[in-house]
Structure 1
Amino acid sequence: MMQQRLSTKLQVQLEQAGADKLNKINFSNVVADPAEEKVIELAEIMERMAVAGNSLDGVIVTSQSRITK
């Protein structure tokens, strides 16, 4: 069996004051296995750049791999 890494993506989710939906900021082609501290650092930068009243809800890290025989 062989496992091939295809991609890693991040989605920073910001909560908007008075809104039901989250503001989602997507990043594609992220380095494999990003360090948790760096992911949070990026999310906090995006929170500071967002419109006033937004707060960091969380970050989703998605890794895609292909496994072949």
Structure 2
Amino acid sequence: MQTSIQQYTEFGIKKIERFVENFINDETMKIGEFVLGHEKFLQELKREIIAETIEGIDEVYRNSK
């Protein structure tokens, strides 16, 4: 899980910052599009955390006797 958090911090925050800048500079983007855009980033993070957690559990089981 540590990997996902580090990846999100390094790459996800930059994506969100660019998205916010685009929203501020794009007069045609509506607030709903802005909100849904953020939800997309959060869904990606959730998928990464879930996948990494399941992979970690799988590794524990494989290594156990």
TM-score surpassing 0.5? Answer: no
Which is strand-richer, 1 or 2?
1
Which is helix-richer, 1 or 2?
2
TM-score normalised to structure 2 length: 0.34
TM-score normalised to structure 1 length: 0.33
Greater gyration radius: 2
